[in-house]
Structure 1
Amino acid sequence: MQRRHILKMLAAAPLAGGAARLMAAPAAGSAKLLVVFLRGAYDCANLLVPIGGEARAFYDASRPTIAVPRPGQAGGAVALDTTWGLHPVLASSVLPLFQKREAAFIPFAGIDDLTRSHFETQDAIELGQALDRGRDYRSGFLNRLASVLGGGPLAAVSPIAFTDQLPIMLRGQFKAANMALGNVGRQGIDAARSRVIERMYRNTALAQQVAEGFQVRDEVTRTVKLEMDAASRNAMTAQGFELLARRMALLMRERFDLGFVDVGGWDTHVGQGAATGYLANRLDELGRGVAGFAEEMGEEAWRDTVVVVISEFGRTFRENGNKGTDHGHGTVYWVLGGGLSAQAGGRVVGEQVALSPATLFQNRDYPVINEYRAVFGGLFARMYGLSPAQLDRVFGGVVPQDLALV
């Protein structure tokens, strides 16, 4: 209660740079939006798993060591409908939200950028600009959304990024705060164990081989780690995300209307795992984080809240030679909230295609058929009642795709 009282006092004070006003939303003037950016490109094909027919056979053949088993098998996916199943580690966190119609998934989502570069694609998404125009780094799309919402007369709109630095998505003329809630769970190379083992073999015939073996391993691991960290742009890892998500919920419930957070550690080129393993652990922590966020928001605020989980792109449908996946194209977005519509809540929505070698993009990746600016544009039109002219200020030239999410 003391912490709540302090936050209410903070809510009465203006945010640095000044407060603005929020436009009327259809039936809800207190709408809240949180964008969660999974930096590093997570493997959506092991989140939303094909479970039926030829698509399942293609999935199994493409992923001999990292395929999530079929529903009913040990460690099997949880069936959402006749086409898709959910990774089993999310059975206790995201699945209950899906069953309450408070979660939905949008497969084949993303951006038409074809660079497969983490940095290029992350920037392009955060800017939210048409790809056939030169990039203007002066504003990101959430900042432009805040500027549009700031013209309304109903309530203050306050954006915040829960990050060390203000992300591109929130940079611009509208003043936004950023507050890092802590980088947690970063794992370095365990040099201590290597030294112990090297001492064990010192002065033996295997000493040189052991030392050289560790040197090669360290060089390879260091290179992969640097690439993964670079892809994550120093975002927090999914480990420890639940505690931070609950803190974010408290702040958004009491003070902020637009939120952004990025979570790194998704660049799974090596040793990705299937029902268990590295990716499963990351998904588990992320799932518990978004479920904890929903719980901490409370029933009333959660009805007015939408959480959108995105990533810069997907990963290759076929596993690579290192039992991982490489940079891909289309991905799966998550949409969560207590006020999702009956048409979207508890469903897999958006345009879809049957998975086969013929429908993969360039015979390797999920295609993008639910373009992210169109998806967000349709969501913003429903959440905030934005006109076509207002949407054009957020996403220039966009044709919104109305998925009836809220």
Structure 2
Amino acid sequence: MRRRHLLQALGTSALGVHSASAMAAPGAQDVRFLLVFLRGGYDCTSLLVPTASSYYYETRPNIAIARPGQDGGALPLTPDWGLHPVLADSMLPLYQQRQLAFVPFAGTDDLSRSHFDTQDSMELGQPVGGRRDYRSGFLNRLVSELNPRTGNTPATAALQPMAFTSTLPLVLRGAVDVPNTLLSAAAGRSGVDARQAQLIESMYRGTPLATPVAEGFATREEVARTMQGEMEAASRNALSTKGFEGTARRMAKLMQTRYQIGFVDVGGWDTHVGQGAATGALANRFEELGRGLAGFADEMGPAWKHTVVVVVSEFGRTFRENGNRGTDHGHGTVFWVLGGGVGGGRIVGEQQALTATTLFQNRDYPVLNDYRAVLGELFARLYGLNAAAVARVFPGTKGADLRLV
């Protein structure tokens, strides 16, 4: 089952990029990229089920997903892999339409198994073991590469990023100013009315903060208008305002027209106790996440063909179940890559059989596909970045030849 995809340099001739500068490729304005971060380290072994591994069923007597064809069994994808059954109506159709691929054995070299340390490490995208610069996240560096500069000062962003979060995440901190807003059901209600907003703007008029303050209120008003339209539709039972699906559809409305690069995080994946199998706590989270991602795809409409969504988590979980019918902090995980132009319907990247002798430290998925290499190649293909530009986004990294787009 071992299939190696050797890392290779992203040469400019292979990518069709001949300029030394890393500018947005033609058509980059049409590309939409959304990064979904599952905080808590989700159990990827219940999502992408290694149905060919007898060791999986030996080590998970209570929480294993049954083989295809059995009651509550996995949905068959390949002879080696199956999909959690609650995703039959949301993710399976995208996989069958070749708009969804999975990258197992993915992740980072960070071995701390700490949620916070590993999340920070991934969002920064800097080499593990080196000095961390908490002012520079990899998505912000990507935006810097894609947008023109005047001297050392970033110009007004040609490609607009947005964090759909209550605070600005590390991944979008850096030289480019990035707005953030939480698209919850209450996000359309502001604690500052129009009169107060005018007063605040007047306080900063004539100062260096005048433009950022004005842009911040303009962004707030745009989001409020979008939310109001969605809530009016929901009153006619057109859209749900609860759960991730409502949030995902609101994100899609904003990314259709204004924001080309987005980030959202979803919590609740730390399943030490009572994880469940085909049903239960984790299954419920998968179902809601799947419906949300499918809703995002639907809401994007024709723009979906130029959209890529990548779902990541800081790490996976232990291959064996624990004494509480849950799983503990692991290492390797599974990434999801969705989009209308994605080369999906595949399980991609370097893989290996899952047996008693192949687990990392006798407990976890090994990391065979470094997340920086996976995303580096994806950004190169989406935006026409050359090898030098990829190395600025992810220092010390070359792209992986997965051809996801």
TM-score, normalization by structure 2: 0.78
Could you tell me which residue of structure 2 aligns to residue 164 of structure 1? 166
| CA shift digits 1:136-191 (9 cap, x unpaired) | 111100000000000299x921000000000000001101110101289xxxxxxx
Could you tell me which residue of structure 1 aligns to residue 30 of structure 2? 30
Q: For this pair of structures, how many residues does the alignment match?
A: 324
Structure of greater relative contact order (alpha carbons < 8 Å, 6+ residues apart): 2
Question: Aligned-residue CA RMSD in angstroms?
Answer: 1.8
Which of 281, 300, 318 in structure 1 is aligned with 2:284?
A: 281
Could you tell me which residue of structure 2 aligns to residue 133 of structure 1? 130
Of the structure 1 ranges 95-104 and 22-31, higher mean CA displacement relative to structure 2 is found in 22-31
Q: Tell me if the contact between 1:25 and 1:31 (Cα under 8 Å) persists in the aligned partners.
A: no
**2 CA distance for matches of 1:358 and 1:77?**
24
Q: Tell me if the contact between 1:116 and 1:327 (Cα under 8 Å) persists in the aligned partners.
A: yes
**2 CA distance for matches of 1:157 and 1:28?**
8
Q: Which amino acid in 2 is paired with 1:74? A: D
Which of 292, 297, 300 in structure 1 is aligned with 2:300?
A: 297
> How does 1:20-59 map onto structure 2 within 5 Å?
23-25=23-25, 29-52=29-52, 55=53, 57-59=54-56
Could you tell me which residue of structure 1 aligns to residue 139 of structure 2? 142
**2 CA distance for matches of 1:317 and 1:398?**
28
Which of 253, 256, 274 in structure 2 is aligned with 1:253?
A: 256
**2 CA distance for matches of 1:148 and 1:24?**
8
Could you tell me which residue of structure 2 aligns to residue 308 of structure 1? 310
Could you tell me which residue of structure 1 aligns to residue 367 of structure 2? 368
**1 CA distance for matches of 2:27 and 2:100?**
20
How big is the shift at 1:402? 2.1
How big is the shift at 1:338? 0.2
Unmatched 5+ stretches in structure 2: 1-21, 150-154, 187-241
**2 CA distance for matches of 1:180 and 1:336?**
23
Q: Does 1:62 align with 2:64?
A: no
Q: Does 1:388 align with 2:387?
A: yes
**1 CA distance for matches of 2:72 and 2:355?**
24
Q: Does 1:325 align with 2:327?
A: yes
Unmatched 5+ stretches in structure 1: 1-21, 185-238
Q: Does 1:116 align with 2:118?
A: no
Q: Tell me if the contact between 1:127 and 1:168 (Cα under 8 Å) persists in the aligned partners.
A: yes
**2 CA distance for matches of 1:169 and 1:27?**
24
Could you tell me which residue of structure 2 aligns to residue 269 of structure 1? 272
Could you tell me which residue of structure 1 aligns to residue 339 of structure 2? 337
Could you tell me which residue of structure 1 aligns to residue 356 of structure 2? 357
Could you tell me which residue of structure 1 aligns to residue 220 of structure 2? none
Q: Does 1:76 align with 2:35?
A: no
**2 CA distance for matches of 1:358 and 1:61?**
14
Q: Tell me if the contact between 2:24 and 2:385 (Cα under 8 Å) persists in the aligned partners.
A: no
Secondary structure of 1:156's counterpart equals coil
| CA shift digits 1:279-331 (9 cap, x unpaired) | 00000000000000000000x21111100000000000000000000000000
How big is the shift at 1:28? 5.3
Q: Tell me if the contact between 1:105 and 1:349 (Cα under 8 Å) persists in the aligned partners.
A: yes
| CA shift digits 1:331-389 (9 cap, x unpaired) | 00000000013xxx110000000000111000000000000001000101100010111
Secondary structure of 1:334's counterpart equals strand
Could you tell me which residue of structure 2 aligns to residue 240 of structure 1? 243
Q: Tell me if the contact between 1:137 and 1:168 (Cα under 8 Å) persists in the aligned partners.
A: yes
